[in-house]
Chain A
Amino acid sequence: MNKKKLLIILLLGLLFIGGLAGGYLYFSKISSRAMPASEERVEALPKTEDLISLKIYHPVGNRLQIEEKRVQSRTTQISIAQSVVEEFLKGPVGSQVSELPKGTKLLGIYRDADRILYIDLSEEFRRNFQGDALSEYLVLKGLYDSLTSNLDDVEDVKILIDGREIETLGGHFYLSYPLKDMVFYATNKLQNDTKNNEN
C-alpha cells in the first residue's frame, strides 16, 4: 500500500517538473521572438559610411591642438557647422581643464548673402571667459579655423552673444567685426615667442 502511494507521488512529482520545464521553454521562445535581435539593434546605429570626420582646433596652452572627431553625417552646411561648434565647445578629449568658457550653449547658426556665418552663442561664452590676450586669441582663432576647415562655402565668421553683437569677448579682441581679418596671425609663430633667457 505504501509502495503504491509512493509511486503515485513520484509520478505526480515527475509530471509537475515536466510541466514546469515545458512551460519555461514555451514562454522563453515567445519572449525571444518579441525582443528584437541584438544584431538588429546595432543596425539602428549609423554605419561607418554614415560618419563624417571633423577637424577641430582646440586651444591648449599657447597653441591650437588639432583633433579629428567622427560624427554622424550631416547633409546641410548649417548642420555641419552646428556639429563643428558643438564639438569645439566640448573641448579636447581627455582634457581635465578646458580653456573654453564653461556652460556655453549654441543658440543658432545663420548665413547671410555674403557667405558670412553667424554663430550665436549663449551669454556664458562671454561671462565665463577668463584669460589673457593669447587665450582669447586662441579661442577665437580655434573656432574660426574649425569652421572654415570643415565648411566649403564660408567667407567669414562672426560671433553673436544671445543674438546680439558685443564688442569683445575678454577685453582684448573685437567681436564686433567678423573674425577673418583678426585671426590671420599664425599660431605656430607663437612657438617662437622670444624668451629672454640670458643671465
Chain B
Amino acid sequence: MMKRAYSKVKIVFFFCLVLLITTVPLSAQKKTDLSLKFSKQEGLLRIVLEAEEAFITKTKAINSPSQIKLEFPGPFNLMSHKDLPFKVGATEKSLVINLEEKGEVKLLRLSNPARLVFDIQKGQKQAILILPNLFVFDAGHGGYDFGITSGDTKEKDITLGLVKDLDTALSKKGKKVYLTRKVDQYLSLVDRIKFVNQKNPEVFISFHSSMSEDFVIHTANFRDEGSDEMVDLYSLSSRQRRFLKKSKALSDSIGKAIKDEFQKDIIYREIPIPILNSAGAPAVLIEFPSLRFVSYDQPMKERLINSILNGIAAYGQ
C-alpha cells in the first residue's frame, strides 16, 4: 500500500520536473511584439517601428542611404503588412531593411508610444558638407583627472573617443585636424590653450560631459566694464574677444544640428571658462548629456559626430 503511494508521488514529482524544465526556457525566450508600419508621401518614405519602451531604447540602429540595420536587445515577433515597399530580412535579434531607392535616412527616437521613426527622403542627393580646413579638438580631462564617472565609464574616455572619431571623419575629407591629446594623459589647461593658439585653427571645440540630461554649448564671457582694447589685444585671457561673434554663430549652428538629430532642447551658456576666453579662434565647449543618463555606444557616437559635422558645415556656409 505504502509502496504504491510512494511510486505515485514519484510519478507526480517527475511530471512536475519535466514541466518545469520545458516551461522555463520557453518563458525566458518570450518574444517582444514589434510592429512595423510605413507611410509614403511625395518622395518621403516613413518607416515606424513600435515596441515596449525598454526594448526600443536598447535598440541600436545603423543606416546608410540604401539600408537600415537594427539590433534588438532580445528576440522579437515582427508584425507588419505583407506588401511592403522595401525588403525586410530578420534574424532572431536583428532586422535589416533594404530600401529599393537610395535616399537620405533620418532617425528619430520618440516616446509615448516608444518608437523608432526613419524618414527616407528619396531622390535627394546627400548634402555636400562645406567644411573649414583646420580644426583643433580638445578631449576634456585625462590621466588622473577622470572627469565625471559612472561605474566604469569615465568622461575622459568618452571625450577622447569622440575627438578621435571626429579626427577620422574629417581627415577622410582631407581636412587638417589637431587633437590636444591623443591618449589618456593629463594635460594642463595652460598647455591646452598654448596648443590651440599655436595651431591657429578655423574651429576649436572642447568636449566635456554635463551633469544633466541636456546638451550644453558654452561660449566665452567677458567682464562688461573696464575693458581696455590694447590690453585685450595682447592679453592671453582675452584673446577670444575678437572671435566672439563667430563663436556664437558656431554655437548656434552646432546646437541646431544637435537639436535636429536628437530632438532635445539645447542649453546655450556664456561663461568665462579659461580655455574659451583664451582661445584665439572661433571656439565652443560642448557638454554632452551625462554618461549617467546616456550610453555612449557606437551608434550614439555616430549620431553625435554627424550632427556636429552638420553644425560645423552650416557654420562654414
Q: Could you list which residues of chain A lie within 8 angstroms of chain B, going by C-beta atoms? A: 130-135, 137, 167-168, 170-174, 181-182, 184-185, 189-190, 193-197
Contacts and interface: CB of A to CB of B under 8 A. Distances in A.
Contacts of A168: 188-189
B148 A190 contact: no
Interface stretch (B177-185, B267-275, B307-315): B267-275
A196 B266 contact: yes
Which residue, A171, A184, A189, has most C-beta atoms of chain B within 10 A? A171
A133 B287 contact: yes
What 5 A-B pairs are tightest by C-beta distance, nearest first? A194-B268, A196-B266, A132-B211, A132-B210, A171-B141
Interface string B91-112: 0000000000000000000000
Given A167-B190, A173-B273, A193 B268 contact: yes
A193 B267 contact: yes
Nearest to A130: B148
B239 interface: no
29 contacts: A130-B149, A131-B148, A131-B211, A132-B208, A132-B212, A132-B287, A133-B208, A134-B216, A134-B271, A137-B271, A170-B147, A171-B140, A171-B141, A171-B208, A172-B208, A172-B274, A172-B275, A174-B189, A182-B274, A185-B221, A190-B269, A193-B267, A193-B269, A194-B268, A195-B265, A196-B255, A196-B259, A196-B265, A197-B265
Given A194-B267, A196-B266, A184 B272 contact: yes
A168 B192 CA distance: 13
A190 B259 CA distance: 21
Given A172-B274, A196-B256, 14 more contacts: A130-B148, A131-B211, A132-B216, A133-B208, A133-B218, A133-B271, A133-B285, A167-B190, A170-B147, A171-B147, A173-B274, A174-B274, A182-B274, A184-B223
Nearest to A126: B145
Nearest to A137: B271
Interface of B: 140-141, 145, 147-149, 188-190, 208-212, 216, 218, 221, 223, 237, 255-256, 259, 265-275, 285, 287, 290
A90 B4 CA distance: 75
Nearest to B187: A171
Contacts of B255: 196
A107 to B, nearest CB: 21
A65 to B, nearest CB: 17
A195 B214 CA distance: 10
Contacts of A167: 188-190
B124 to A, nearest CB: 23
Contacts of A173: 273-274
Contact of A133 (B223, B237, B268, B273): B273
Which of B149, B268, B271 has the most A CB atoms < 10 Å from its CB? B271
Contacts of A170: 145, 147
Contacts of B270: 189
Given A131-B211, A132-B208, A197-B265, A171 B259 contact: no
A134 B259 CA distance: 21
A1 to B, nearest CB: 82
A74 B147 CA distance: 38
A134 B287 CA distance: 11
A184 to B, nearest CB: 5
Nearest to B274: A174
A197 B256 CA distance: 11
Nearest to A168: B189
Given A167-B189, A172-B208, A196 B216 contact: no
A135 B285 CA distance: 15
